[in-house]
Structure 1
Amino acid sequence: MSSILTNNGAMVTLQTLKSINKNLATTQNEISTGKSVATAKDNAAVWAISKVMESDVKGFKGIQDSLSLGQSTVAVARQAAETVTDLLTEIKGKVVASQEENVDRDKIQTDIAALRSQIDAVTKAAQFNGLNLLSNTETAVAAPGSNQISVLSSLDRSGSGVASSEIDVTKADLGVGAATDGTTAGGTAATAIPSLAAGGTSAFMTVVPANVTYGTTYNIESMAGTAVAAGDQVSYVVRQGDTAASVASEMVNRLNFVAAREGADVTFSISDTDPAIINVTNNTDAAITGIAAGDVNRTTGGTAGGGLNLLEEFDVTSAEGAAAALAGIEGLIQTSIDAGAAFGSVQGRLEIQQDFISGLTDALRSGIGTMVDADMEEASARLQALQVQQQLGIQALSIANQAPQSILSLFR
């Protein structure tokens, strides 16, 4: 049945042409934007995932900046620590030279003082953006970790949310500033040693972890029993980040320094069984009087000095002073080497993390592109096919619209 009111062929053709035009518009949009999923209406699930990943990429870009800043800061500290190590090595050479009798010790002492001043200049200048990792002289008792800085290193996404990861950098202290001993009584720090046999060794002092807080001062007021002059005080003020073992190590260095300076034939060392216990060994052929418990005590309220402040006591103008400097320099060099090694290790870790974050960011961007980017080859082929279909559709619609004209022949 033919009808001049209803053209079914034209309606079918028109619907087909509308569908072709819609697909053509979608393809043209993909080509113009470069994305197959440009908005949430294109594919809500894929769009949501891509936006989360894009936010992570933005976050990782900030992390790369943080790692770059941290790496630069640590690099400055490492370079300074290595320079200080070289300067201390030069001082050691001067100290060794001062052991000879036929040398001008006054001039050697002048050279040592100049090198000590250079160490002070290096440590003070070793800052990046105002942060100096070679300065650990906070003056307040703080929670553990106060001698550390944290460098933002990663974002960890899980089902419960996002958490940040950090790389901790522990400060060192290679300054030469003097310490101020505490004045408030804090208790004894040793058990009396009545006597030491020839060649005998005995526990001398135990560092208690509970007392390793900033400003606690370990004092040895007199070591007359070990042939060290009475009243010749040896002390160490605890700084942030110290442990019982590190305090004991610092005390051993200072005790051996004073013993050598005073000509006492005794040696102080760390116990083989506990790194917080200090032993004293009698190196003479006869027994000597021990150390009174009251001569070894603790005080509080002190101010920590620089980690190399023992340099201030180096005086090689006498044979005894030269011997003391030789006994003390090794510990200072080791302190500087440990600092440089620690900074080098952290710098290497920061570089590895930075490379990883860079690669991870590239992988995330690639993943996002895989989900939302348009396949331009496919889009191009589809565009041409749809354009041909559109032209054919227009032709078919024209033919369908001409069909009712055939009815006119019935009325001729």
Structure 2
Amino acid sequence: MTSILTNVAAMSALQTLRTIGNDMETTQGRVSTGLRVGVAADNAAYWSIATTMRSDNLALSAVQDALGLGASKVDTAYAAMESAIDVVKEIKAKLVTATEEGVDKVKVQEEIDQLQEQLKSIAESASFSGENWVAGGVDTVTTAADVTVVSGFVRDSNNNVSVKTTTYNLNATVPAAAGEDEASLLFGADTDGVIDYEDSGTSGILGTTADNWGLVDFGDDPANPAAAATTVSGMSIYTLDISELENDGMAEALKLVDAGLQAMTSAGAKLGSISTRIELQEDFVNKLSDSISKGIGRLVDADMNEESTRLKALQTQQQLGIQSLSIANSSAEGVLSLFR
């Protein structure tokens, strides 16, 4: 039956054309955004996973920045410790020179004085972003303190998130108190955070006196400091003065400096290990971030080869649909010839 009121062929062609138009709109959206799943309506599960992982990846980016900051702090402290070790080595060499007969100890002490001032300069200058890991802190003369650097961002199997840190102990006590790490500070600080160079005699590796190192031999009367068999009692590496030392005193001074070198070497080794840990973590975080990005891409990214092929096919279908609709509409015009 032919009807001029209801053109079934045209309605069918129009419906097909609408479907093709919707498909084209979807495909064009994928081509323009590069995403197969751009909104929750496309695939709620994949969209939810991708959104969560993108937020985690952003957090990892912040971790990368924090690792860079932490690496700078550690590298600054390590460079300072390494420089201080070199200076103390020079002091040790000067002591060996001063033990020779006929050497003017006063002249040698003048050189040592300059090296001691260099140690102070190194300690004061080793600050990055307001933190000094080789001198200072708050009340580190009496109490060790921990400083941390961000090392990771973790989401566990229960979907709980946490930030992981690496800890470094700032300890100015020599020898270390029970249960605490070995001394790591060249100089400690008082309760106001002011670096204590010599007042307490127990301030860090360079500020601790020979007595507190346990290097002073009090002979038969431990209660009487005046009976000490060494003249370095009350002296630290920073305050060491060999001008009037005799043979026994020079031997004790050498022991004091060598003990300081061992402690500084230990502290430098810890800083070096943390620096290596941070470098490894930076490399891991970079790889982890790339892996997460790849995973997100597999879930939501559009295959551009496939989408471009589909778009071309839909464009062809659309042209054919338009022609079909045109033919369906023109078929009714044949009815007019019956009335002529």
Q: How far apart in 1 are the matches of 2:268 and 2:229?
A: 29
Partner of 2:69: 69
Q: How far apart in 1 are the matches of 2:62 and 2:146?
A: 21
Partner of 2:272: 344
For residue 150 of structure 1, give the secondary structure of its aligned residue in structure 2: strand
Q: Is 1:329 aligned with 2:278?
A: no
Partner of 2:305: 377
Partner of 2:291: 363
Q: Is the 8 A contact 2:232 2:240 kept in 1?
A: no
Partner of 1:57: 57
Q: Is the 8 A contact 1:152 1:164 kept in 2?
A: yes
The code of the aligned residue for 1:324 comes to E
**Percent identity over paired residues:** 38
Q: Is 1:173 aligned with 2:185?
A: yes
Deviation at 1:141, TM superposition (A): 9.6
Change (3 A) 1:37 1:68: same
Q: How far apart in 2 are the matches of 1:327 and 1:316?
A: 17
Q: Is the 8 A contact 2:231 2:245 kept in 1?
A: no
Q: How far apart in 2 are the matches of 1:84 and 1:262?
A: 21
Partner of 1:312: 239
Q: How far apart in 2 are the matches of 1:360 and 1:5?
A: 65
Q: Is the 8 A contact 2:236 2:256 kept in 1?
A: no
The code of the aligned residue for 2:145 comes to N
Deviation at 1:316, TM superposition (A): 4.7
Matches within 5 A, 1:10-409: 10-139=10-139, 147-158=145-156, 159-171=158-170, 172-175=184-187, 177-180=197-200, 225-226=219-220, 230-232=224-226, 259-261=229-231, 309-319=236-246, 320-409=248-337
Q: How far apart in 2 are the matches of 1:223 and 1:348?
A: 41
Deviation at 1:228, TM superposition (A): 6.9
Partner of 2:181: none
For residue 275 of structure 2, give the secondary structure of its aligned residue in structure 1: helix
Change (3 A) 1:141 1:223: closer
Deviation at 1:3, TM superposition (A): 2.0
Change (3 A) 1:68 1:121: same
1:334-376, Cα deviation, whole Å (9 max, x unpaired)? 1111111111111111111111111111221222222222211
The code of the aligned residue for 2:200 comes to T
Larger mean Cα displacement after TM superposition, 360-369 or 119-128 = 360-369
Q: Structure 2 stretches of 5 or more lacking a match? A: 171-183, 188-195, 203-210
Deviation at 1:38, TM superposition (A): 1.8
Aligned pairs, number:
308
TM-score, normalised by the number of residues in structure 1: 0.68
Change (3 A) 1:377 1:394: same
Change (3 A) 1:381 1:181: closer
Q: Structure 1 stretches of 5 or more lacking a match? A: 183-216, 234-257, 264-304
Q: Is the 8 A contact 1:156 1:165 kept in 2?
A: yes
